[in-house]
Each structure stands twice: as structure tokens, then as C-alpha cells.
């Protein structure tokens, strides 16, 4: 599987591949929807290595509302001075060092050079400011069993 903007199904897999588009159908079908996440899934030798993106000292650019990381599905506005999150649709100011020109299709001209904008899976190391006051909790386990 080549990563062209979507994560491999071994990293993230939906329990349903087709979701009803109308609320009435959703209520009638009663199909449970979940996403199974395996962030440390083993890679096959034929797959590209996971790229580490550590270009900014302040850490990766994130949505100021929901804290989502920039990804191939963000929208860029106002000559890339503003970004729009694909998860919460919040519009936010883009840091100066992350701005660039947009082409005629409103796509970033550096999209193919920024791995976080053209791959579904990248690794973002936590910046020093995030980890300096961080006291990790003890590991926990969660077991969910659906018996419906």
C-alpha cells in the first residue's frame, strides 16, 4: 500500500465502509460506526517508511480550535495566510514561517515537499514546550464489549 494522503487500513480501519448520507437512513439502519486505530502497526517491507516531520521549533501547525494536525485535507485561504480545518471547519491564522503561495486551484505550491500535506501517516515529535510540564499518567487498559 502506497501512502498518497490516506492512512493504510492497518493503521486505521472503519467498521463500516459505507455510511448512510441522510439522518433518517442512519436511524433506520442502526449500523454502528467506529474506527479502529493502531498507530504502531507493523509495516510491511514493501511499504514506505513513516516520515518524521520535525521542521518547526514550535511544533507542527495545528487547528487552534480542535488541535488537529495539518493534513492533506486542510483548506488554505487568503494566499495561505489562513487555514481551514477539515475536521471542525474552523478558520485560523497560519504562522508566517508556514505560509506559501497558492496555485490556481488554491493548493499550496509546496504541497509535494511537505510530507504532512501529502501523506496520511507521519510522525510529529512533541516539541520541548509540550513535554517540559508533562507528567505522564500510568498506563491504563480499556476493554469494550458490545453484546447487542
What angle (nearest 5°) sits at the alpha carbon of residue 58, between those of residues 90 and 4?
60
Neighbours of 93 (CB within 10 A): 11
Whether residue 138 is predicted with pLDDT greater than 80 in this model: the reply is no
pLDDT digits (tens, 9 = 90+) for 64-78: 999 899 999 999 999
pLDDT digits (tens, 9 = 90+) for 23-39: 888 888 887 888 888 88
pTM reported for the whole predicted model: 0.72
Amino acid at each position: 500500500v502506497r501512502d498518497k494522503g490516506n492512512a493504510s487500513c492497518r493503521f486505521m480501519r472503519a467498521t463500516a465502509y459505507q455510511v448512510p448520507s441522510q439522518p433518517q437512513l442512519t436511524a433506520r439502519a442502526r449500523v454502528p460506526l467506529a474506527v479502529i486505530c493502531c498507530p504502531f502497526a507493523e509495516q510491511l517491507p514493501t511499504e514506505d517508511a513513516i516520515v518524521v516531520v520535525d521542521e518547526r521549533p514550535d511544533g507542527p501547525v495545528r487547528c487552534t480550535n480542535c488541535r488537529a494536525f495539518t493534513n492533506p485535507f486542510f483548506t488554505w485561504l487568503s494566499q495561505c495566510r489562513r487555514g481551514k480545518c477539515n475536521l471542525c471547519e474552523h478558520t485560523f491564522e497560519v504562522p508566517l514561517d508556514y505560509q506559501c503561495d497558492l496555485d490556481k486551484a488554491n493548493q499550496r505550491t509546496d504541497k509535494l515537499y511537505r510530507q504532512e500535506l501529502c501523506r496520511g501517516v507521519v510522525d510529529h515529535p512533541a516539541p520541548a514546550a509540550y513535554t517540559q510540564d508533562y507528567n505522564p499518567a500510568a498506563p491504563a487498559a480499556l476493554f469494550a464489549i458490545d453484546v447487542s
